[in-house]
Structure 1
């Protein structure tokens, strides 16, 4: 009894009369199954291609099922199986979830069972269609549709792997273009479009140990691209919620990450370089207790290059100095030239003389009340930064250099 129930070819037990009875109603059964299957997939519009593909699959499946009646042949020979592998692949290309196709197959199985049972009832004497015969029919339909599901699932999976490989290639291309730098804008934008990004905008580079790449990349999903290098991995995260310092600190904690600065995409190589220099700086200052890329034990939290720009600038790193200038002097960028010059001159003197109004007035040869008026303007522009020791140091550093006082375009 057990062997009877688990037979791999349950269609062998169907009565001989089933084949001609089903063949006579193939058109009617195909219409019903195709209609229900198409509705189960449901694209929300009149998709002629989908309807044609479904009808072709239904016709092939029903014809094969009729041919199986009374035989011990496997459900799907190579040619027939390929039809359903292709159908599954097409569903993947249309970006429909696998559950949709499986739901359509389940619906098809129910319709097919009902229609074939009706066909047998019409063909056989009423008493000949016993409960056992109906169970045999149910077993045959279920086993057959299971084989169809296996074939379509294989096609869906194979197509997903191919698509994933192509997506990975496109994402790697964009990462290479950005990290290498100097790529034509049209090439970068085309690569970004190829992975579904609408433009590139601002990007932050994150350096990771190779063993942390896959786990970390998953946390950013479509918001990041990755370039694997010999000793580390560069994760490029585009501007948005996932690129905020708070999110990066939380997601990258304990992963040995070093976060570069957020830059517009043509300057991604700067972000990568500053991350590399920040990692070297921190390792040199803290020894083996600090992790980061190539830095021994993994540290927590990640290293942020933003926290070390001033030190790098003092050590002669021009990109760090330029970024400091852009950030610290950005509030002055919208002022007319005469006013901007006066305020920067006053700020430079105010910082050098530790806020002494008399000393500033004497150096600039203006009235002390003029100094007070200008300092109020500075507070309006700089806010709390004017009282923050780190901010004042960075302002003094930038203003000490004539090039820095040219006020580069706003960084953000």
Structure 2
């Protein structure tokens, strides 16, 4: 069974072992740096510039710290090790900020450990150290590298998490600004801060908050999500999808089926608030159910007709004034028939089929309506007013 590596924090090597190693440290450091440049291509360019001097100093410091660590009998083992771990942690964070993965850094650690150990072992052999001491020393070298590697992994992960949280917060600020209808120059600045490349258009999706986390995984990675509920629509949230117009819009329909989504119109990205406004209006007029997808493009007439509810109410009252003397049930049947007659352009059979009545009933009701309206049912302006007034049935 493989034994765990020795705790490098507590083990100490005698002075007669350390002194030759310290004298040979510059040469071993140079060999280690050369091997990393040669065997880890990702570091060839950094070592060639100003950054190379910093990395070279870091390698020398790491080896020097190791020798200090294992040559301090009776001293606090945490002090030198804490400094090395902190430097390795910072190195991992720096790699993340540079946009590099950990592959190159961990490869550099492996190459560095191998080459440094080979150089230090040669010095120990030349100094006549026994095999057991050299074996102990090897164990300490690799335990030390494991500590540094773990610290760099933690630093890399923490930096990614921190930068991810920062970018997410900036994306949310951008989305809030879009919904608020902020000026284009403000939106452009927020997009740059979030490192979000604006598309040509954005299309708003309105859906229940509980379903948004499933839907967003199906969409373009650049999709924006409103962090809070949509104002005046509790439990609803909004997504903004880049460029789904044209032939991709039917695809969007298919992806969203089963999620009770309202799809707004495509708008220039800085005007995305108008897409959400349209979706909200259609949500109030015709909310989806049973997993349906409602496209606002199919409800434009209803949106236009209900744009000013009080004006529509006034128009309806004015247009139906001739029916003021009719009783409740009779008036309701006449209004229902007049609406169908207008929408079907006077085709009696179609009106009867829609209302589930006999054509003769339609004839009787229309005769009564002509009595009440007279020539107004042949006046284009009155027909237009009646059509608009009755286009959307009263709830």
TM-score bracket, shorter-length normalisation: 0.5 to 0.7
Distance 2:54 2:253 in 1: 49
Change beyond 3 A, Cα 1:153–1:243 = farther
Aligned residue among 110, 113, 117 for 1:113: 117
Change beyond 3 A, Cα 1:56–1:44 = closer
**1:167 Cα deviation from its structure 2 partner:** 0.8
Which residue of structure 1 aligns with residue 188 of structure 2?
Answer: 189
Which residue of structure 2 aligns with residue 54 of structure 1?
Answer: 55
Per-residue CA deviation, residues 309-344 of structure 1 (Å, 9 max, x unaligned), is 2333343479xxxxxxxxxxxxxxxxxxxxxxxxxx
**1:305 Cα deviation from its structure 2 partner:** 2.0
SS in 2 for 1:249: helix
Which residue of structure 2 aligns with residue 80 of structure 1?
Answer: 84
What 5-or-longer segments of structure 1 have no aligned partner? Answer: 292-298, 319-351, 354-399, 402-412
Change beyond 3 A, Cα 1:23–1:44 = closer
Which residue of structure 1 aligns with residue 350 of structure 2?
Answer: none
SS in 1 for 2:277: helix
Distance 1:241 1:151 in 2: 47
SS in 1 for 2:195: coil
Change beyond 3 A, Cα 1:242–1:95 = farther
Change beyond 3 A, Cα 1:266–1:156 = closer
Residue correspondences, number: 303
Distance 1:240 1:41 in 2: 41
**1:276 Cα deviation from its structure 2 partner:** 1.7
Distance 2:139 2:245 in 1: 53
Aligned residue among 254, 258, 265 for 2:258: 254
Per-residue CA deviation, residues 189-243 of structure 1 (Å, 9 max, x unaligned), is 2222223344442111112322334444344464122222233322112226999
Change beyond 3 A, Cα 1:202–1:153 = same
Change beyond 3 A, Cα 1:44–1:303 = farther
**1:92 Cα deviation from its structure 2 partner:** 0.9
Which residue of structure 2 aligns with residue 211 of structure 1?
Answer: 210
Per-residue CA deviation, residues 218-276 of structure 1 (Å, 9 max, x unaligned), is 44464122222233322112226999324433443433332211111343222112212
Change beyond 3 A, Cα 1:309–1:103 = farther
Distance 2:254 2:138 in 1: 54
Which residue of structure 2 aligns with residue 122 of structure 1?
Answer: 126
Which residue of structure 2 aligns with residue 357 of structure 1?
Answer: none
Distance 2:296 2:261 in 1: 11
Distance 1:253 1:237 in 2: 16
**1:75 Cα deviation from its structure 2 partner:** 8.9
Q: Is the 8 A contact 2:224 2:240 kept in 1?
A: yes
Structure 1 stretch 52-61 or stretch 209-218: which is displaced more?
A: 209-218
What 5-or-longer segments of structure 2 have no aligned partner? Answer: 230-234, 310-343, 346-383, 386-395
Which residue of structure 2 aligns with residue 64 of structure 1?
Answer: 65
**1:15 Cα deviation from its structure 2 partner:** 6.0
Which residue of structure 2 aligns with residue 307 of structure 1?
Answer: 298
Which residue of structure 2 aligns with residue 405 of structure 1?
Answer: none
Aligned residue among 106, 111, 114 for 1:102: 106
Distance 1:237 1:21 in 2: 65
Which residue of structure 2 aligns with residue 20 of structure 1?
Answer: 19
Change beyond 3 A, Cα 1:263–1:23 = same
Which residue of structure 1 aligns with residue 240 of structure 2?
Answer: 236
Per-residue CA deviation, residues 337-361 of structure 1 (Å, 9 max, x unaligned), is xxxxxxxxxxxxxxx99xxxxxxxx
Distance 1:103 1:34 in 2: 13
Per-residue CA deviation, residues 29-86 of structure 1 (Å, 9 max, x unaligned), is 1112223334526257455243133223212210111123365935953333221111
| Aligned: 1:263 with 2:267 | yes
Structure 1 stretch 240-249 or stretch 52-61: which is displaced more?
A: 240-249
RMSD across aligned C-alpha pairs, in angstroms? 3.4
Task: Return the index of the structure with the highest Cα Rg.
Answer: 2
Per-residue CA deviation, residues 112-156 of structure 1 (Å, 9 max, x unaligned), is 22111122122226xx3x2x4444333212211111011111221
Q: Is the 8 A contact 2:261 2:294 kept in 1?
A: yes
SS in 2 for 1:77: helix
Q: Is the 8 A contact 2:167 2:194 kept in 1?
A: yes
**1:307 Cα deviation from its structure 2 partner:** 2.8
Which residue of structure 2 aligns with residue 168 of structure 1?
Answer: 168
Q: Is the 8 A contact 1:9 1:75 kept in 2?
A: no
Which residue of structure 2 aligns with residue 336 of structure 1?
Answer: none
Distance 1:226 1:38 in 2: 44
Change beyond 3 A, Cα 1:99–1:32 = same
Distance 2:120 2:246 in 1: 55
Per-residue CA deviation, residues 76-120 of structure 1 (Å, 9 max, x unaligned), is 533332211111111111011122221221221111221111221
Q: Is the 8 A contact 1:206 1:272 kept in 2?
A: yes
